[in-house]
Structure 1
Amino acid sequence: MKWSGLLIVHLRNIFILLVLSLVLFLPGIEKLPPLDRDEARFAQASKQMLETGDYIDIRFQETPRYKKPAGAYWIQAASVQMLSPNDATLIWAYRIPSVIAAIASVFLTYAIACLFLSSTSSLFAGILLAASFLLNAEAHMAKTDALLLVSILISQYGLARIYKGDTVHQNWLYFWSGIGIGILLKGPIVPLIISLTILGLWYFDRNMKWVKALRLKAGVLISMAISLPWIIAVQIRSDGSFLRTSIGGDLLPKLMGGMESHGMPPGYYLLIVMITFWPGSLFICPSLVNIIKTKTEICSKFLIAWVIPTWILFEIVPTKLPHYILPVYPALAIMTAKWMNDFKPAQITLGSKFFIALWFIIGCALIVASILLTNLNRDFVTSLTNVISVTVLIEQIKSNMQQNTGTMIIALTSVIFLLGSCIFLWNGRLKSSVISALCLAGLFFIPLTYSKIPAMTWAFPSLEVASFLRSSNELKNGLISIGYHEPSLIFLTGTDTYLTDIEGGVSKLKERSHNLALIDRSQLQDFRTKAESMTLKTKVIKTFDSFNYSKGRVLTLDLLKITDK
């Protein structure tokens, strides 16, 4: 194909991926409330940068936030400054960098796949990543993970080109620029993953001569030029606390044991990949078989070196969260694209058919969960913590579908595409299977993020409290919160919101009588007893019946103010 014709094909494919990504990633960006706890912490720290003008020292209220470098906070602050300069509590402005990063990750996955495969197969690699559950989730949250994925893919793109023997100048610049950006986003994670990939390639080839093209000395200087100035500045500002906290207080504890109740045994990521890479997980089994059969090919070697060492490391590390494994998902998407490129009908084995059946069951479970989320109320969620009969679940599903025709239509259409994906794959019609799975993803993710989760207002007490304070013109009076300390409350009600216990709350209310007090109902009586002992009389002006999903428990909050009566 002539160069001009190839350019047109690439531009067409990029346009397809752009439209697809926007359709999947944008719905719900504005409607989803700030999510506890990581997103709200990131957004609040970025908001404080704008409030104080201090872009070196990262803080959540008065507490230093030195677990991660400043890159993501800078990008979020810049986004808010450009898109919402007059209202820093609009969470969608903090999420736009994650959306852009997720789209860029889809493009880069396509670009890396094009180094080894046809443009058509590479297009499907981008489609599968864009449709994946985990990337959709990260695109809707103002955190570092989508941004981190971009930096990894920039480095992997440069590494893949050099490994193939393409040693033009920009390739080593891609490699080291990605590492420098990654360090500024999340410390040593990107260098670690890239090093493991190089180690995997050495295992295959027992030859490291090609590594000279990475230009180690010049490359390290570039990475240092990107990341080191801020690290030096924050080390000076924090009297050396930043590196002690980020490495000694965050990274090493995660490597040594389960941190913040996130400890999981080895095999965790293997167990959840059917959901986190869904719907692309339908193709994992035959793709892995194919990649092993073709392990001597340069594409297969690169993908195996990318996935296996990193996956093993994350399985060994005790602290586990679903998004930690995201950096290898582009490689899984390219593996699937390679299988499609190499496909022979005989590759749909009995084992693959068993895997298809398992995927179908998981898909049905997700559709059922989506139906249950329609008109979901707090009482039903509370009942899930107890033994609940199948009959009750069936009745709830029937009720939701009868009350909402749209839900019924979407559910039935989803089942059709679910079946279609399986049947097409079973019969060796791979492209039709991927397209059917893509339609299924759209029917699942778009209603979920645009309407179903935002409609569960009872699950977002911080938003309910902030909305009431704004509508009643009470926000300016300030808030003291006792027993409810979620970061989203700070983000939505203001940096000056005071989080404390009963004794501290009563003392603060004595000093600032114009403040309102937000109290967990379980502590209300003790609060009133303490307040009366200090001659403070209060009255409840609003009660919020909510659910704290971070702690998995029912929550009732009372909003009080001082009264003379």
Structure 2
Amino acid sequence: MDQTHRHRQAPAQRPVIIDRSQHRCSVHALLSEVIKILGSLSRPTRWYASWQAALTLVLIAAGVYLPGLVKTPPIDRDEARFAQASRQMFESIALPDDRLDPEFHAGDLIVPMVQDRPRLNKPPLIYWLQTASAWIFSAGDPSHDAIWMYRIPSVIGALIAVLATWRLGLVLMDPRSAFIGSAMLAVCPVVAFDAHQARADQVLLALCTLLLWQLADITRRAHIGRPARAHSILLLWVCVGLGVLTKGPITPMLIGLALLGMGILGRDWKPLRAVHPWLGITIVAAIVLPWVVAVAGHVGFREYVQIVFDETIGRSSSASEGHWAPPGYHLALLIVLFWPGSMLTGVGFVRAWRLGVRWGGQGRRWRDRSAGRFPELFLISSVLPIWIVFELISTKLPHYVLPAYPALALITARALPPAGAGALAIARSRLAKLGYALWSIVGFVLAGSIGVCGVALSEVPSIPLILLSAAALGLVAVSAVLVFQSRFIIALRLSVVAAAVIAFGVHRFILPEATALSPKIVAAFNAHGPDRPLAAQGYKEDSLVFLTRGRITKLEDHAGHLWLREHPTGLLVRLTNPNPVPGETVLDTITGFQLGRGRFVSVDIVERTP
């Protein structure tokens, strides 16, 4: 029997339709769950004023400041100069008399020296602190010191600044905003970078923040008609005096301009009387004058006055060492250097201005102004006048406005709750949304840059940096979405974690390799004879001075050949010369990154041909 085969016709395939609305819903649901989890991590208000909050801030800051502290070589140029001056000061009091060099160690504890040159453009407190740190950690033996020992005062200064910002916030606002503002300051790039260097800026930041904390307490009490506490006045002026011994006129400028701002904006001069300025001047003079007299006895009063003039008036009227920039320079860099705290800085400042200064009459005329809410008036006065001064002076460096950062962090933090609750119309404006977009772009660039460095720098481990970059990019992406949804507090929490991840990648992996050229040169010197005379031409970074313990001589261009003739056993490092030089033998060629100039260079280790 014939069998008929019945072939079923395959059903027509239906086109696959992707329901994008469901996809969006799933992403939204996932994001909502993340937000719910983060929201559940919120602490009761009283926790933010407790010792647990202080410990948390210390742990956050330590997690940012400690990675890379020991591993990173001296950073050119300022750090190497500070550390070398402190080392020579340490040697002058620790070495036996028969090992002292009359040119290197003539300054004792009074005049900082870098090799045979006095370094009086900065006052002595930072050198004293670094000397004490190196003495403690080296057990009093300068031959056992290391660069990280001279960085400890900067780390401690940054930690004090973070905690003092928190305490300042507790005087002026709710505890949660105080905590958030301190966390912003702890992880922002400019503080994280400076805390890894043996310089004066973090000690100055600590003193400025302590000063503002006491000034806020004194002026708040004056605002409500209560007398200032004696210990607050004493601590205030001690901080001013120690600040003068750290970096000259910055602390007097900060307190003077803050009081001037409160007087002008609020038309109330009671805060000026409350700080007892004549008593303060006496305390500051008692702290500063003994060292001024001592240093004038070493170098001459007229010479020291000229140095002070050049470092203050001279830097203000003309650019020093080529560091000129137009007004607006610090404001333009703020979104990067204060990230992630720059999220709502503009919104926060507008809010503080509206609440801190009260305007009478219908025309909002200047003469009808009066003091508004004290916390906002105080914070505006602590930021705006000194910021304007730093924008107007000719010499500009990114860290100059650091004394204004604690108050700026608190202004920003205080704006987060009302902005998130929809109570600030400006937070929903087009200009604010443009700011959020720029903030997000900066975050993506910072997070992506560590991955790019992992690929571009051959000696940097790429896999850890790529993983860190991916984690930071993910955190920034979620934060950016939350910012545009006005979930500012949760977005800031995530971006603080992202900033900590970025800082870890930079300081643990990238910066040690970006500053490795000078150690390679010194290793080559030692390989060819540890006691030979040393000189540098072309590549004359101060890190070489520190790493050779001051033995290297810096030469002018084209002076290397003559120096080799005068020092037949000497070793010279110079930028690579493609043309052979008669009478010279190239022993090594080393390539690396010159951080001081931001470029890759190749250098030769040269000796005289026998």
Q: What TM-score does the superposition give when structure 1 sets the normalisation length?
A: 0.88
Deviation at 1:49, TM superposition (A): 0.9
Counterpart of 1:515? 570
Query: Which residue pairs with 1:484 in the alignment?
Result: 539
Aligned partner of 2:254 in structure 1 is: 193
Give the residue type in structure 2 aligned to 1:541.
L
CA offset at residue 78 of structure 1?
Answer: 1.0
Matching residue's letter, 2:529? E
Q: What is the CA distance between 1:547 and its match in structure 2? A: 3.4
CA shift for structure 1 position 541:
1.8
For 1:241-292, what per-residue CA distance to the aligned partner results, in whole angstroms no more than 9, with x for missing partners? 5533432322222111222111100111111101010111112132123212
Matches within 5 A, 1:339-354: 339-343=415-419, 344-347=421-424, 348-350=427-429, 351-354=431-434
Corresponding residue for residue 113 of structure 2: 59
How many residues align? The count is 526
Compared CA separation, residues 51 and 241, structure 1 to 2 (3 A): farther
The secondary structure found in structure 2 opposite 1:518 is strand
Pairing of 1:266-281 with structure 2 (within 5 A): 266-281=327-342
Task: Point out the more displaced range, 461-470 or 354-363.
Answer: 461-470
What is the SS of the residue equivalent to 2:597?
coil
1:305 equivalent to 2:385? Answer no
Alignment of 1:199-210 (within 5 A): 199-210=260-271
For 2:190 and 2:303, locate their aligned partners in 1 and report how far apart those are by CA, in whole Å: 30
SS in 2 for 1:475: coil
Is the 2:85–2:112 contact (alpha carbons within 8 Å) kept by the matching residues of 1? yes
Deviates more, 1:198-207 or 1:296-305: 198-207
* Matches of 1:6 and 1:229, distance apart in 2: 45
**Structure 2: gaps spanning 5 or more residues:** 1-44, 94-107, 222-226, 357-371
Which of 32-41 and 45-54 deviates more?
45-54
- Measured against aligned partners, the alpha-carbon deviations of 1:27-62 in whole angstroms (never above 9, x if no partner) come to 111122211111111111111112223111122111
Asked if 1:376 is matched to 2:456, the reply is: yes
C-alpha displacement of 1:7: 9.3
Once the two structures are TM-superposed, the CA of residue 329 in structure 1 deviates from its matched residue by: 0.7
CA distance in 1, matches of 2:453, 2:302: 44
- Which structure 2 residues correspond to residues 241-280 of structure 1 after superposition, within 5 A? 243-280=304-341
Q: Counterparts in 2 of 1:520-531, with a 5 A limit? A: 520-522=575-577, 525=580, 528-529=581-582
2:339 partner amino acid = W
Question: Is 1:157–1:174's contact at 8 Å kept on the other side of the alignment?
Answer: no
**Residue aligning to 1:389:** none
2:134 match = 80
Is the contact made by 1:97 and 1:142 (CA closer than 8 Å) also made in structure 2?
yes
Rounded to whole Å, the distance in 2 between the matches of 1:310 and 1:501 is 39
Structure 2 match to 1:385:
none
**Aligned partners of 1:510 and 1:283: how far apart in 2?**
62
**Superposition map of 1:108-123 within 5 A:** 108-123=164-179
Match of 1:161, SS state, is: helix
How much does 1:503 deviate? Answer: 6.8
Partner of 1:550: 596
- Displacement of 1:486 in angstroms is 1.1
Residue matched to 2:70: 30
Please report the TM-score for the alignment, with normalisation by the length of structure 2. Answer: 0.81
Q: Deviations over 1:167-214 (max 9, x none)?
A: 111111121011100000111111012111110000123222332332
Structure 1 partner of 2:405: 329
- The equivalent residue for 2:396 is 320
For residues 392-436 of structure 1, what are the alpha-carbon distances to aligned partners after superposition, in whole Å with 9 as ceiling and x for unaligned?
xxxxxxxx9xx9443343233222211222233333333312210
Partner Cα separation in structure 2 for residue 507 and residue 490 of structure 1: 21
Is contact 1:158–1:173 with CA below 8 Å preserved after alignment? no
1-side partners of 2:50 and 2:304: how far apart? 43
- Aligned Cα root-mean-square deviation (Å): 2.4
Q: Which residue of 2 is the match for residue 19 of structure 1?
A: 59
Residue aligning to 2:9? none
Cα distance in 2 for residues equivalent to 1:518 and 1:143? 27
Q: Is residue 181 of structure 2 the alignment partner of residue 125 of structure 1?
A: yes
Q: Distance in 2 between matches of 1:558 and 1:90?
A: 26
Q: Which residue of the other structure, out of 207, 211, 214, is the alignment partner of 1:155?
A: 211
Deviation at 1:511, TM superposition (A): 4.6
Q: Distance in 2 between matches of 1:133 and 1:455?
A: 19
For the 8 Å contact 2:574–2:603, the answer to whether it is kept is: yes
Preserved contact between residue 543 and residue 559 of structure 1 (Cα < 8 Å): yes
Q: Choose from 144, 150, 154 the match for 2:200.
A: 144
What amino acid is the match of 1:219? G
1:481 touches 1:498 (CA, 8 Å); kept in 2?
yes
Once residues 302 and 454 of structure 2 are traced to their aligned partners in structure 1, the CA distance between those partners, rounded to angstroms, is 47
The equivalent of 1:474 in structure 2 is 529
Residues 553 and 406 from structure 1, CA distance in 2 versus in 1: closer, same or farther, beyond 3 angstroms?
Answer: closer
Indicate if the aligned counterparts of 1:42 and 1:73 stay in contact, CA closer than 8 A: yes
Q: Is the Cα contact below 8 Å between 1:66 and 1:246 reproduced in 2?
A: yes
AA in 2 matched with 1:226 = I
CA contact (8 A) 1:541 1:559 kept: yes
Distance across 2 between alignment mates of 1:500 and 1:240: 31
1:230 is matched with 291
Structure 1 or 2: more helix by fraction: 1
**Higher Cα Rg, which structure:** 2
Matched with 1:501 is 556
Secondary structure at the counterpart of residue 531 of structure 2? helix
For residues 118 and 435 of structure 1, what CA distance do their matches in structure 2 show?
17
Cα pair 1:118 1:341 within 8 Å, conserved: no
Partner of 2:42: none
Question: Where in structure 2 are the equivalents of 1:331-410 lying within 5 Å?
Answer: 331-343=407-419, 344-347=421-424, 348-350=427-429, 351-377=431-457, 404-410=462-468
Match of 2:6 in 1: none
Q: Is the 8 Å Cα contact of residues 68 and 246 (structure 1) preserved in structure 2?
A: no
The corresponding residue for 2:518 is 462
Q: 1:69 is matched with which residue: 96, 104, 123?
A: 123
Tell me the amino acid that sits aligned with residue 334 of structure 1.
Answer: L
Per-residue deviation, 1:89: 5.5
- The Cα shift of 1:294 comes to 1.4
SS at match of 1:125: helix
Contact 2:451 2:468 in 1 (8 A): no
Query: Quick one: structure 1 residues 210 and 501, their matched pair in 2 at CA, closer, same or farther if it must change by over 3 Å?
Result: closer
Q: Secondary structure at the match of 2:295?
A: helix
Q: Distance in 1 between matches of 2:578 and 2:373?
A: 65
